[in-house]
Amino acid sequence: MSLRGSLGVVELVGVVAIGLGLAGCPDDAVNKLTDAPPLADTPIDAPVCVAPTGAGTMHQSITAPETWTAAASPHVIPFDINIAAAVTIEPCAVVRIAVAKTVTVQPNGAFIAAGAPGLPVTIDSVVSGMPWSSIRALGGAISLTHTIVRGGGDRLNTLVAYAGAIHLQTGTLHVDDVEIADSKSQGVYINGPVGFDATSKDLRVHGSAGFPVHVYARVIGSIPTGVYTGNAIDAIGIAGAGGSVSSDQTMHDRGVPYHVGSGMDGGRLDVDSQLAGSVAVLTIEPGVHVQFPPGGTLNVSVAGGPTPAQGALIAIGTATNKIVFTSDQGAASAAGDWFGLGFGGTVDSRSVMQHTVVEFAGGVQVTGSNSCPYPGRTGPNYAAIRIYGPTATQFITDTEIPQSARDGIDRGWRSDVQPDFLATNTIAVTGCKETTPALANNGCPATPPCP
């Protein structure tokens, strides 16, 4: 509290006391006045970073450990460099990278931007508006803490979808309180087997010309907490040609949809361990929306027939926070935009869909199943959800299937065990709500039911 404010309180109390006839009352009077609060100490101004004014320090490829200080800023990278030792960047230090240049962190190398709260490391362009390319890990470590990254992402000679201001191919990536702004491609692009480390958090990406983050499916669960809005595509991109979800992963609710495919590589997402006797489990949190381009699909195991599934899907939403699988066409979305979900092999006992929505799916497919054919129908029984392998349980419940181009659920297995999926699901389609599986001996009714 300031001195002026304290005096105002004292003066007001004195006036009130006189008005009540209490001036001069002893301390133990019934209506004793309380003492005025003590004066607060004046806060000391917090330290702030000062913009560098000198010529700074020029850097070339590094083979021995270095520390880049604020006093020696700006640290200028005029051409492509390799880092093969630890580079530690202190709070308030400024790094400037020349147009179209790349910093590559090699094995045994580390790029450690070690800012502090309110005292960030800043990584920017040498010339404003002329983007640098990327800070790229090829076996080394990138660690960004309390760091601002601006003006990178020049795609060079590749497609926009396959570049990022921060690019992890092999190595490790850690972020904590990091802002990535105005990338000319993605904020972060990961096209390798390792994603963000487990302690990463508070990543904020805005102004990117593509996705805020674009990753391979196998590392989708590593996306940290953060804010991912204000980009050309406000979604987390999953590479459509980036391999399967081959180990347990979770699609966390990060405030934006997940988009399967980059626009350059199709829209297929497989959940499949690809190892005999092993099952990869994809868990999706309540509230997550997953978008698919035309012809896109989610395949939970690609096994055929009665072979045990090598993938499982756990998608459990809530009545007020459903998981949504949908088209990426926005307001122009229509029935049949994308294929839908497929469950291959004998459905794993862990698979469950509850309080989910599968909309605008059921696109025309040429692959068949073991469900019974319908007289007069051309082509297979394609549907929003296709179950190719036998299942003994109704593992899909409280689910909505609107706007499918043909059927809702294709019960496309061959077995005498034929659970019904109509009880708790809401299916509004142009074809059958569910198809009829063939019996174990491949027998079918002359006219299969079509509810």
Q: What is the pLDDT of residues 153-201, one digit of tens each?
A: 999 999 999 999 999 999 999 999 999 999 999 999 999 999 999 999 9
Beta strands in 66-109 (DSSP E): 66-68, 75-77, 81-83, 86-89, 94-97, 102-105
The helix, strand and coil proportions of the chain, stated in percent and rounded to the nearest 5, come to 5, 35, 55
Q: What is the pLDDT of residues 253-266, one digit of tens each?
A: 999 999 999 988 88
> Regarding beta strands 311-316 and 75-77, do their DSSP bridges make them parallel or antiparallel, or are they unpaired?
unpaired
pLDDT for residue 40 is more than 80: no
Helix extents (H) in 41-196? none
The pLDDT value given to residue 34:
52
Angstrom distances, CA of residue 63 to CA of 85, 89, 94: 5, 16, 21
pLDDT at 264: 81
Angle (CA) 346-347-348 rounded to 5° is 110
Sequence-separated (6 or more) residues with CB below 8 Å from residue 100:
131, 132, 133, 154, 156
Q: Which two tokens stand for residue 317?
A: 């939403």
Query: How many other CB atoms are there within 10 angstroms of residue 8's CB atom?
Result: 13
- For 12-19, what is the mean pLDDT? 35
Which whole number is the average pLDDT over 19-29?
41
Is a pLDDT exceeding 90 seen at residue 42? no
Q: Is the pLDDT of residue 321 over 60?
A: yes
Cα 133 from Cα 102, distance rounded (Å)? 5
Indicate the residue type of 308. Answer: P
Which residue in the block uniquely carries the two structure tokens 């800023």?
73
Specify the pLDDT at position 350: 97
Residue range 108-118, pLDDT digits in tens = 999 999 999 99
pLDDT in tens, 279-290: 999 999 999 999
Average pLDDT score over the chain = 91
pLDDT at 38: 53
Res 126 pLDDT > 90: yes
Whether residue 100 has pLDDT greater than 80: yes
Residue 180 sits at φ, ψ, to 5 deg, of -115, 120
pLDDT for the residue numbered 267: 93
Q: Quick one: how many helices (H) and strands (E) in the chain?
A: 1, 32
Query: Residue 69: its pLDDT value, please?
Result: 98
CA dist., res. 75 & res. 85, Å (int) = 17
Provide the pLDDT confidence category of residue 45 given band limits of 50, 70 and 90: confident
Neighbours of 76 (CB within 10 A): 16
- For 377-398, the pLDDT digits (tens) are 988 999 999 999 999 999 999 9
Q: What is the pLDDT of residues 324-366, one digit of tens each?
A: 999 999 999 999 999 999 999 999 999 999 999 999 999 999 8
At residue 197, the pLDDT reads: 98
pLDDT, one tens digit per residue, over 223-273 is: 999 999 999 999 999 997 767 999 999 999 999 999 999 988 889 999 999
Handedness of CA 379, 385, 390, 392 (dihedral sign): negative
* Res. 6 pLDDT band, cuts 50 70 90: very low
Supply φ then ψ for residue 53, to 5 degrees.
-120, -20
